[in-house]
């Protein structure tokens, strides 16, 4: 279980997807009045 979580958290594609999600959230949060 733990090994699978570590593999997922260290997966480059997952990290990129997470960064994109955070960037989109930050953009929407900033554009909100």
Whole-structure pTM value: 0.59
The torsion region of residue 21 among left (phi > 0), alpha (psi -120 to 50) and beta comes to: alpha
- Return the domain boundaries, the chain: 1-31
| pLDDT under 70: residue ranges of the chain | none
In the prediction, which pLDDT does 22 show? 98
In the prediction, which pLDDT does 7 show? 87
In the prediction, which pLDDT does 25 show? 96
- Greatest Cα pair distance in the chain: 42
In the prediction, which pLDDT does 8 show? 82
């Amino acid at each position: 279980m733990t090994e699978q979580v570590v593999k997922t958290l260290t997966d480059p594609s997952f990290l990129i997807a997470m960064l994109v999600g955070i960037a989109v959230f930050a953009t929407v949060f900033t554009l909100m009045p």
